[in-house]
Structure 1
Amino acid sequence: MNNKDLIFQKIIKRETSTHIIYQDKIVTAFEDIAPKAPIHIIVIPNIFIKTLNDINQKNKNIFAHMLYIAVKIAKNKKISEDGYKIVMNCNKNGGQEINYLHMHLLGGEKLKALY
């Protein structure tokens, strides 16, 4: 991991000023520092998983918990009824900029469709 990739580990350990909105033993969720929507939350596992390709039999429940927490946050932020988007990027060509599995929860306005 390079320094850019280590930022998520620092956020999990609360070594940054990042606004954490949810944390449990499995995941941490926080506001994106460069939001692409009025509500832009990042959800990450508390253990290092590099990409979607690294989800396996042993850690698949972590991925399910990430999704569960994203939906829970969407409901708490009152965007679940109007709609929201969950985005995950995988590797360089998929747009992944930080080599640490993470999920974007976006909402709070009408979002453009991908297609």
Structure 2
Amino acid sequence: MSSEVEKAKTSVCTQGPTIFSKIINKEIPADIIYEDDDCLAFRDISPQAPTHFLVIPKKQIPTLDSASSEHEKLLGHLMLVCSQVAQKEGLTSGYRVVVNNGPDGAQSVYHLHLHVLGGRQMQWPPG
């Protein structure tokens, strides 16, 4: 079992600050590659592909399941940012966007985030 799956099994969904909150507030360093008023993108500290970055909303939404219709515009914006940053990163042959949701989805940080992976041939099924 991967360390991410192990972390996910022991993670607890809380409404408090997460490590991503600290990145948003610039309290801890991150390799930020995109930022606007609503979201930011930064390189994953444990990349699973040659290019692996996360896109996160600045507003804390713990899980995809906890998003509501009030977040519709923001969720669409996150997807567009995934595409824009992927192009900027040179992922012209394709990439994968993943949202881990809840313990069985291997979510280890309870702040909604989109993984963008590319730079190699992705496999199917993903696992």
Common fold by TM > 0.5: yes
Query: What residue number does 1:24 align with?
Result: 36
Query: What residue number does 1:69 align with?
Result: 81
Residue among 89, 96, 109 paired with 2:100: 89
Query: What residue number does 1:42 align with?
Result: 54
Contact 2:40 2:58 (8 Å CA) reproduced? yes
Q: SS in structure 2 opposite 1:49?
A: coil
Q: Please report how far the alpha carbon of residue 72 of structure 1 lies from its aligned counterpart in structure 2 after TM superposition.
A: 0.2
Q: SS in structure 2 opposite 1:58?
A: helix
Q: How many matched pairs?
A: 113
Query: What residue number does 1:54 align with?
Result: 66
Where do 4+ consecutive residues of structure 1 move more than 6 Å? none
Uncovered stretches (5+) of structure 1, i.e. residues with no partner: none
Query: What residue number does 2:21 align with?
Result: 9
RMSD across aligned positions (CA): 1.6
Q: SS in structure 1 opposite 2:76?
A: helix
Query: What residue number does 1:104 align with?
Result: 115
TM-score, normalised via structure 1 length = 0.92
Q: SS in structure 2 opposite 1:53?
A: helix
Q: Please report how far the alpha carbon of residue 2 of structure 1 lies from its aligned counterpart in structure 2 after TM superposition.
A: 8.2
Alpha-carbon distance in 1 for matches of 2:77, 2:15: 26
> Aligned letter for 1:78?
G
Alpha-carbon distance in 1 for matches of 2:31, 2:63: 24
Greater RCO (CA < 8 Å, at least 6 residues apart): 2
> Aligned letter for 2:97?
I
Percent identical among aligned pairs is 34
Alpha-carbon distance in 1 for matches of 2:102, 2:29: 27
